[in-house]
């Protein structure tokens, strides 16, 4: 039993790392896409935004695929509940990501309809940025579950105040990632627009953070007793303050680093609040899907852990290599 508990805890942490890594990495290109109409006013400026994220975006989404695969293999009951219960919302995200991916290619080649493809890219970025947080908020606060671990609600069950507050917080964090990344990677007019947008997004983030805190006090006051929650929250606030300071000093690399640390701190809050649950049930704690009652067996978890200990460092090294190769600014004539 001790071996199984160790493996379950290890995979809980690994899945969390993969999802946090996806949020940090794909967050900046989702944010850049969501802000595209405000960052770029003509084709040359849009090309600068696209070029800043082009080498990275598809590699970033590998983290989401890997996180989903790890969840499926390690905690199949939780995977089945989430992907069946949130089916319509996840299909909306999937279609948005598909249109987002193809819109960049079509924008480049289909010059007559570039306005259409720009809009598709923006909507395809904005919708997942919001719905990811809404889905996470539902998992944290709880959804109606049967004893069979089946979701018993509907699409509108997911649109409650707490998940919507978390969705807005996630969206503001994504926008912060996007605006700091674009300011770091571009120069000229596009960079100036990013810097002009930063102040409003910086304020928006703390407003949504306070809104989420108020919702937590109302709906989940018991979660605020964990020291790890407060430690992670302190990381978020300090990184938020430093992000503004580094931006004001023109040190955009450090500003983007602080924005990324904000995301890491937010995931620390999620982990500290939610552990050992994977999906909470409303009304009856005995129906919660946890890492203990939803996991695969010892053999599966052991084999997978060996693969992860080899594969995850390779992914991290490859990701670092790609970002190093494509470091530096995207130059424009403006």
Mean pLDDT lowest for which of 97-111, 112-126, 184-198?
A: 97-111
Q: Give the pLDDT band (50/70/90) at residue 85.
A: confident
Name the average pLDDT for the chain.
92
Domain count across the chain: 1
pLDDT cut 90: percent of the chain above it: 67
* pLDDT score at 332: 65
- Asked whether the beta carbons of 312 and 14 are under 8 A apart, the reply is yes
Give the residue numbers spanning the domain of 43. 3-325
Averaged pLDDT for residues 89-118:
90
- Write out pLDDT tens, residues 289-302: 999 999 999 999 99
* pLDDT score at 59: 82
* pLDDT score at 333: 58
Q: Is the pTM of this model over 0.85?
A: yes
* pLDDT score at 88: 86
Q: Is residue 85, in this structure, part of any structural domain at all?
A: yes
* pLDDT score at 158: 87
Output the CA torsion sign for 211, 213, 217, 222: positive
Q: Is residue 11, in this structure, part of any structural domain at all?
A: yes
Ordered DSSP codes for 67-82: HHHHHHHH-HHHHHHH
Rounded-to-integer distance, Cα 218 and Cα 222, Å: 10
Q: Give the pLDDT band (50/70/90) at residue 57.
A: confident
Compute the C-alpha angle 236/241/246, nearest 5°.
Answer: 120
Q: Give the pLDDT band (50/70/90) at residue 149.
A: confident
Q: Is residue 332, in this structure, part of any structural domain at all?
A: no
Q: Is residue 333, in this structure, part of any structural domain at all?
A: no
Question: Looking at the predicted structure, is the pLDDT value of residue 55 above 90?
Answer: no
* pLDDT score at 65: 86
> The tokens 């890219």 sit on which residue?
121
Averaged pLDDT for residues 199-220:
96
- Taking each helix axis from N to C terminus, what angle separates 252-274 and 227-248, rounded to the nearest 10 degrees? 170
* pLDDT score at 171: 97
* pLDDT score at 1: 58
Q: Is residue 334, in this structure, part of any structural domain at all?
A: no
Radius of gyration over every alpha carbon of the chain, rounded to an integer in angstroms: 20
Rounded-to-integer distance, Cα 15 and Cα 317, Å: 18
pLDDT cut 70: percent of the chain above it: 99
Rounded-to-integer distance, Cα 173 and Cα 223, Å: 21
- Write out pLDDT tens, residues 22-47: 999 999 999 999 999 999 999 999 99
Ordered DSSP codes for 227-266: HHHHHHHHHHHHHHHHHHHHHHTT-HHHHHHHHHHHHHHH
For the chain, where are the alpha helices, taking DSSP H only? Answer: 2-34, 36-39, 43-53, 57-74, 76-85, 87-109, 114-141, 161-185, 188-219, 227-248, 252-274, 298-325
Q: Is residue 331, in this structure, part of any structural domain at all?
A: no
Q: Give the pLDDT band (50/70/90) at residue 64.
A: confident
């Amino acid at each position: 039993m001790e071996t199984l508990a160790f493996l379950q805890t290890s995979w809980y942490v690994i899945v969390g790392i993969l999802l946090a890594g996806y949020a940090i990495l794909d967050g900046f290109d989702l944010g850049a896409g969501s802000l595209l109409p405000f960052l770029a006013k003509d084709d040359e400026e849009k090309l600068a935004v696209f070029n800043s994220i082009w080498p990275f975006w598809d590699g970033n989404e590998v983290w989401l695929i890997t996180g989903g695969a790890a969840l499926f293999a390690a905690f199949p009951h939780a995977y089945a509940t989430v992907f069946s219960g949130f089916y319509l919302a996840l299909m909306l995200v999937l279609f948005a990501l598909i249109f987002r991916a193809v819109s960049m290619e079509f924008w480049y080649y289909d010059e007559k309809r570039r306005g259409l493809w720009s809009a598709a890219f923006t909507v395809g970025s904005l919708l997942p940025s919001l719905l990811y947080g809404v889905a996470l908020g539902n998992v944290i606060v709880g959804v109606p579950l049967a004893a069979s671990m089946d979701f018993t609600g509907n699409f509108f069950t997911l649109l409650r105040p707490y998940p919507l507050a978390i969705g807005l917080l996630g969206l503001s964090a994504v926008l912060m990632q996007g605006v700091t990344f674009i300011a770091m990677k571009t120069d000229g007019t596009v960079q100036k627009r990013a810097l002009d947008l930063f102040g409003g997004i910086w304020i928006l983030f703390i407003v949504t953070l306070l809104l989420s805190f108020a919702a937590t006090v109302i709906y989940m006051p018991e979660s605020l007793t964990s020291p790890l929650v407060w430690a992670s929250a302190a990381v978020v606030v300090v990184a938020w303050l430093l992000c503004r300071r580094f931006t004001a000093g023109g040190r955009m690399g450090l500003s983007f680093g602080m924005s990324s640390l904000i995301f890491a701190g937010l995931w620390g809050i999620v982990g500290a609040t939610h552990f050992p649950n994977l999906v909470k049930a409303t009304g009856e704690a005995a129906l919660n899907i946890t890492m203990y009652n939803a996991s695969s067996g010892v053999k599966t978890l052991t084999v997978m852990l060996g693969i992860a200990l080899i594969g995850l460092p390779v992914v991290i090294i490859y990701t670092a290599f790609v970002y190093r190769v494509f470091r530096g600014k995207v130059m424009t004539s403006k």
